């Protein structure tokens, strides 16, 4: 990693200021600033403002001196350059997104409840799993609460949003893992301060189901990769394979490139390569028409859902087709569609609706509302191989985390 600082050539508040930045990681930049006693309020989107009289102290700590032009060039080349408030453009579909850093023993993570109320015993069991991984687990103030009037929400919208934002903007927190899904994420999305989230830098976000709305928003608004994977309540109830897959993805991501450890079925043969996007089918459908939607153009779509009749799944897929969400899609991986009345009819529907796209389609991937729910990173490039004879695979082209 390279930390860089430019000469004190920016005037403000009666002083001259230098800019301290990293060309690899916001997380490391924040840690270095804390060690040097540089206040958190000094962070400005993609760098720290450092008083000119501290320039020599920062150099003595091992930071590389560069010109202001070189500092901006390095930030831009690394993808860490952040625009000022109100000027950040939406991120285009099909781009490889910025990957957050992997976790390490002792990393602090925050558990939040952005959607439905959280059952106590599965929550405690999941927290125990995370603690066994040598993570410093912090539980949000409203994770164990309930909305006073709306029984299907964990807390009021503003409280759930405040918990999420406080966790993300805490420089000591390296990952945010959602306690459960349910319903409610979309109700709080517009209450988040997206400029503040952007300033805090990319971190690990884990969850699935209703958390799909956050995956879509983080991709379209921030350009950051996220992890579609088990929520905390399912960690204590899922199988050992799912737990170990997530643990390795978080700590040793280069060891988890195969997203289909056991090959899966082929509905439509072919070969595709592109970043992964998607999540819960119902949530993707409800994101269409909002600023948070990240379509499947130049990407591989990963889909799952639970307890939906075939005609309802057909309606959602048809809406995504008609809205243009699938335009330019390169391939599709279908996860589990648990509790449907007729699995054969579901697969036939997907062939009939998605076949005309002319892209490869895999089925039966181990992800969704099932005991085996293997984590999948969105925004990371992968290769989908659906041979005419035999079974298919989905393999990452890069580790999920940096």
Q: Which residues are catalytic?
A: 209, 304, 369
| CA 264 from centre of chain | 24
Q: Is the dihedral of CA 90, 84, 74, 199 positive or negative?
A: negative
Question: Reduced to 3 states, what is the DSSP secondary structure of residue 251?
Answer: helix
Across 323-401, where does the E strand assignment appear? 331-338, 361-363, 376-378, 381-386, 393-396
**Phi, psi of 35, deg, nearest 5:** -60, -40
**Half-sphere exposure of 197 toward its Cβ, with a 13 Å CA cutoff?**
27
Contact predicate 42/33, CB 8 Å: yes
**CA neighbours closer than 13 Å in the CB half-sphere of residue 266:** 18
φ/ψ of residue 39, rounded to 5: -65, 145
Query: In the Cβ-directed half-sphere of 381, how many Cα atoms lie within 13 Å?
Result: 9
Is residue 269 classed exposed, middle or buried when 0-12, 13-18 and 19+ CB atoms within 10 A define those classes? middle
Q: Does residue 139 contact residue 127 with C-beta atoms inside 8 Å?
A: yes
Contact of 268 with 330, CB cutoff 8 Å: no
Q: Cα separation of 177 and 232, whole Å?
A: 7
- Burial class, 151, CB count within 10 angstroms (exposed 0-12 / middle 13-18 / buried 19+): exposed
User: Do 208 and 232 meet the contact criterion of CB atoms below 8 Å apart?
Assistant: no
For tokens 């600033």, the residue is 33
Burial class (CB in 10 A: 0-12, 13-18, 19+), 22: buried
CB 179 within 8 A of CB 123: yes
């Amino acid at each position: 990693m390279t930390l860089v600082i430019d000469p004190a050539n920016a005037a403000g508040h009666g002083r001259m200021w230098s800019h301290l930045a990293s060309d690899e990681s916001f997380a490391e930049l924040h840690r270095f600033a804390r060690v040097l006693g540089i206040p958190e309020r000094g962070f400005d989107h993609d760098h720290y403002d450092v008083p000119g009289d501290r320039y020599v102290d920062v150099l003595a700590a091992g930071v590389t001196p560069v010109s202001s032009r070189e500092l901006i060039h390095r930030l831009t080349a690394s993808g860490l350059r952040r625009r000022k408030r109100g000027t950040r453009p939406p991120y285009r579909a099909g781009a490889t997104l910025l990957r957050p850093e992997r976790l390490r023993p002792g990393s602090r993570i925050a558990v939040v409840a952005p959607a439905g109320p959280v059952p106590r015993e599965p929550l405690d069991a999941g927290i125990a799993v995370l603690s066994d991984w040598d993570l410093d687990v912090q539980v949000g103030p409203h994770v164990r609460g309930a909305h006073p009037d709306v029984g299907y929400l964990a807390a009021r919208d503003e409280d759930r949003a405040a918990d999420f934002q406080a966790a993300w903007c805490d420089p000591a927190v390296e990952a945010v893992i959602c306690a459960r899904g349910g319903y409610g994420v979309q109700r709080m999305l517009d209450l988040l301060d997206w400029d503040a989230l952007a300033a805090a830098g990319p971190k690990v976000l884990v969850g699935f189901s209703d958390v799909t709305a956050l995956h879509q928003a983080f991709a379209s608004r921030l350009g950051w990769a996220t992890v579609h994977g088990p929520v905390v309540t399912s960690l204590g109830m899922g199988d050992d394979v799912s737990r170990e897959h997530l643990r390795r993805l978080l700590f040793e991501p280069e060891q988890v490139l195969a997203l289909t450890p056991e090959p899966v079925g082929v509905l439509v043969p072919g070969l595709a390569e592109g970043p992964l996007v998607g999540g819960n089918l119902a949530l993707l459908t409800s994101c269409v028409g909002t600023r948070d939607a990240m379509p499947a153009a130049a990407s591989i779509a990963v889909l799952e859902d639970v307890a939906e009749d075939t005609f309802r799944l057909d309606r959602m897929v048809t809406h995504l087709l008609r809205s243009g969400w699938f335009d330019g899609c390169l391939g599709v991986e279908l996860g589990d569609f648990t509790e449907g009345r007729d699995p054969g009819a579901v697969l036939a529907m997907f062939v009939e609706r998605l076949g005309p796209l002319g892209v490869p389609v895999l089925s039966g991937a181990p992800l969704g509302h099932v005991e085996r729910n293997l984590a999948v990173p969105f925004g990371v490039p992968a290769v989908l191989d659906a041979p005419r004879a035999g079974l298919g695979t989905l393999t990452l082209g890069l580790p999920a985390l940096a």
